[in-house]
């Protein structure tokens, strides 16, 4: 059934200032299967976020901001394949993070087997080890792994910040659903562009 719905007001700010030592970037699932032509579960607009995320990472690293990646990870016969088909199988080309955003030596990569970057992973413990209070979340898919990770972060009382030009979804509706939930439900801060994120 096709239906047109009105998107409720979503607050998007021009700029946010964050303390570098208490902030981390989380790059969610920017892997070949989601981002590159030939990927098993291609998100059409994910490639457009690569330069935005790259710019944010360069800025963050120059200010000593900690960088984390989540890496969606599945094994043969994973029950999730009944929903999405097989994708990001560990050890395959599709599982690798895209070359343009390859993690650097001091970055931390967290393998996750579900949508939520915190579920069954050491992410929360690692963030607390480094004294992190603010999370800038980027990547794909906006209403799936980005949203579940953002929600899980908010439920642990991290302050969530999302640059809206650095996330992608399978379609426009899903994109705005994610923004609405992050703003309304999780009280995250949506920022117009990565240029509006200032590290102090």
Residues 34-54 pLDDT 10s: 999 999 999 999 999 999 999
Is the model's pLDDT at 114 over the cut of 90? Answer: yes
Query: What is the per-residue pLDDT for 179?
Result: 98
In a domain, 130, yes or no: yes
In a domain, 119, yes or no: yes
Q: What is the mean pLDDT of residues 106-116?
A: 98
Tell me whether residue 54 is exposed, middle or buried, using C-beta atoms within 10 angstroms of its C-beta: 0 to 12, 13 to 18, 19 or more.
middle
In a domain, 6, yes or no: no
Q: What is the mean pLDDT of residues 129-136?
A: 98
What CA–CA distance (Å, rounded) separates 33 from 55?
Answer: 22
pTM: 0.96
In a domain, 3, yes or no: no
Q: Which residues are catalytic?
A: 29, 112, 145
pLDDT band at 1 (very low <50, low <70, confident <90, very high): confident
Closest CA to 155 of 191, 182, 189: 182
Share of the chain above pLDDT 70, in %: 100
Indicate the number of domains in the chain.
1
In a domain, 35, yes or no: yes
Structural domain boundaries, residue 95: 12-199
In a domain, 94, yes or no: yes
In a domain, 113, yes or no: yes
Is the model's pLDDT at 29 over the cut of 90? Answer: yes
The mean predicted confidence, pLDDT, of the chain is 97
In a domain, 1, yes or no: no
The CATH number of the domain holding residue 179 is: 3.40.50.850
What CA–CA distance (Å, rounded) separates 190 from 24?
Answer: 16
């Amino acid at each position: 059934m096709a239906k047109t719905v009105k998107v409720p007001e979503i607050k998007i700010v021009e700029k946010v200032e964050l303390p570098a030592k208490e902030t981390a970037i989380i790059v969610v699932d920017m892997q070949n299967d989601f981002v590159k032509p030939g990927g098993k579960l291609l998100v059409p607009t994910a490639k457009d976020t690569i330069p935005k995320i790259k710019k944010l990472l360069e800025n963050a690293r120059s200010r000593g901001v900690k960088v984390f990646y989540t890496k969606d990870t599945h094994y043969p016969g994973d029950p999730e394949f009944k929903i999405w088909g097989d994708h990001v199988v560990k050890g395959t080309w599709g599982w690798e993070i895209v070359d343009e955003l390859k993690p650097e030596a001091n970055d931390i990569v967290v393998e996750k087997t579900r949508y939520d970057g915190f579920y069954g992973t050491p992410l929360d413990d690692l963030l607390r080890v480094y004294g992190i209070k603010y999370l800038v979340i980027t990547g794909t898919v906006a209403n799936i792994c980005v949203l579940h990770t953002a929600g899980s972060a908010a439920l642990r009382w991290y302050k969530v910040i999302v640059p809206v030009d650095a996330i992608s979804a399978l379609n426009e509706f899903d994109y705005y659903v994610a923004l609405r939930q992050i703003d309304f439900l999780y009280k995250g801060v949506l920022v117009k562009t990565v240029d509006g994120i200032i590290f102090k």
